[in-house]
Amino acid sequence: MGVCLDMTSSPQRDACAARERAWSRAPLDGMARAAHHSFHDVMNRKLDDVMLGTIELFCSAAELGSFTAAAQRAGVTPAAVSRSISRLEERLGVRLFVRTTRRIRLTDAGATYAQSCRRALSQIADAERDVSGRQSTPTGLVRVSVPTTYGHHRLLPRLPAFRARHPGVRVDVHVSNRNVTFAHDDYDVAIRVRAQRDSSLVVRKLEDAELVLVASPAYLARAGTPRCADDLHAHECIQFELPSSGRHIPWPLRIDGTDVEVETRGSYACSDDVLGGVTLALAGAGIFQTYRFVVEQPLAEGRLVEVLPALRGPSRPFNLLHPHGRRLPTRVRAFIDFLLEDRRDS
C-alpha cells in the first residue's frame, strides 16, 4: 500500500521518484493520530496511498532500526524515508526517533506510536484478505505472551508442529512472568495462571497443572525425608516470592482430603521465575513445590525425588486469554484452536 517496489524501466523510475517527492511534501492528515483511536475511527478518516505509505515507511524503520534498510525494503531512497518521517514528527509534535551517525532508535513516544500503527495496518491487511477471500489460509504474525514455566515446558516445544500445519504463520513469543495488558501491550493472546475475572477478556482453560514437592537425593540423604506436613518446618523449603508484594507463597497441600495452605521457611528465595527454585532444588538446596510438568524429566532421571506424595492433589489452572469483542484474524484463531485441541484437563 503506497510503497514503490524495485523498478527497472525509466518510466517506472520516474513514477517512483514522483512518489518520493509526494511523500516528502504531502501534509500528514488524521492518519498521524489514527492509531490512537479505534479502527472504525481510522476508517472514517481520509486516507490515501501517500498517508498509508508514510506510516508503512515509519513502521519499517522502527522494525529494522535503519532508514537505509527501510528504504531498501520499500524500493525508495533513504532520503525519502528521512523526509517522510521528519514530516511525521513535525505533524505530531514529538520526536519518534533518536538519530546518531550510526543508528536510530525509537523514543518512548515513537515506540508507543509504532505499536499502534502496526496494529492498525494489520487490521487493514486482515480486512483486505477477508473481503478478497484470501484469508482461508492463515498468514501473518501471532504475538504471544507466556510465563517461563509454561513457555519452556509446554508452548515452545509445540510450536514446530503448529508451524508445520500453518507454514504461513510466524509466531513471536514473549517469555516472561510480567503481567501484560492487551490495551497497552501488543499481543494477540496470553497464557497466564489463575486469570483474574475480567469482562474484557475471553478466558479458556488449557489445563489444571498438578503441584508436587521435590528435592534432590543428595539433600534428602543429608537432611532426611519428611514423613508428614509438620516435618517441613525442620527442612530447608525453597521460597517463591510474589514480585508485586514480596510475599512468600504458601504451599497448597491436600491433607486428609482437605486442601490447605502450609506456610514454610527456608534460607533460599526466588522471585519472578519459578524455574530458579527448580535449579536450586536440583543443586541440593532444599525442598521446592512446583508444577509436575516442569520436573517430569528430572524425576524420571532420578535427579529429583517426589516428597510427601500422599499430600499431592492441589493444582493451578493455566488459561489462554484474548480480548473480548476484538475481531480475531484467521491466524490467531488457528493458533488458539491448535492450543485448545490438546488441552490437558485433569
Q: What is the mean pLDDT of residues 20-31?
A: 42
Specify whether 104 is located in the same domain as 161.
Answer: no
Task: Report the percentage of the chain scoring pLDDT > 70.
Answer: 79
pTM greater than 0.75: no
Which of residues 132, 166, 193 is at a domain's end? 132
| pLDDT of res. 267 | 96
Whether the CB-CB separation of 145 and 187 falls below 8 Å is answered with: yes
Query: What domain count does the chain have?
Result: 2
| pLDDT of res. 304 | 98
DSSP for 100-135? -SS-EEE-HHHHHHHHHHHHHHHHHHHHHHHHHTGG
| pLDDT of res. 30 | 40
Specify whether 111 is located in the same domain as 151.
Answer: no
The per-residue pLDDT of the chain, averaged, comes to 82
C-alpha cell at 346: 485433569
298 bridge partner residues: none
Specify whether 95 is located in the same domain as 213.
Answer: no
In this structure, what CATH number is given to the domain that contains residue 309?
3.40.190.290
Specify whether 174 is located in the same domain as 145.
Answer: yes
Specify whether 228 is located in the same domain as 325.
Answer: yes
Specify whether 47 is located in the same domain as 97.
Answer: yes
Whether the CB-CB separation of 211 and 318 falls below 8 Å is answered with: no
In angstroms, the CA 214 to CA 302 distance is: 11
Which one is predicted more confidently, 128 or 219? 219
Which of 247, 222, 218 lies closest to 234, judged by CA? Answer: 222
In this structure, what CATH number is given to the domain that contains residue 111?
1.10.10.10
Does residue 3 sit within a domain?
no
Q: What is the mean pLDDT of residues 253-275?
A: 93
Which one is predicted more confidently, 324 or 202? 202
Cα 329 to the chain's mean position, in Å?
17
| pLDDT of res. 209 | 95
Does residue 2 sit within a domain?
no
Specify whether 219 is located in the same domain as 344.
Answer: yes
Q: Which element (helix H / strand E) includes 18?
A: helix 10-25
| pLDDT of res. 214 | 98
Specify whether 205 is located in the same domain as 89.
Answer: no
Does residue 292 sit within a domain?
yes
Does residue 1 sit within a domain?
no
pLDDT one-digit tens code per residue, 112-167? 898 888 888 877 776 766 665 555 688 889 999 999 999 999 999 999 999 999 99
Specify whether 106 is located in the same domain as 158.
Answer: no
| pLDDT of res. 7 | 34
Specify whether 201 is located in the same domain as 303.
Answer: yes
In angstroms, the CA 204 to CA 190 distance is: 11
pLDDT one-digit tens code per residue, 325-344? 667 888 999 999 999 987 75
**DSSP SS3 for 317:** strand
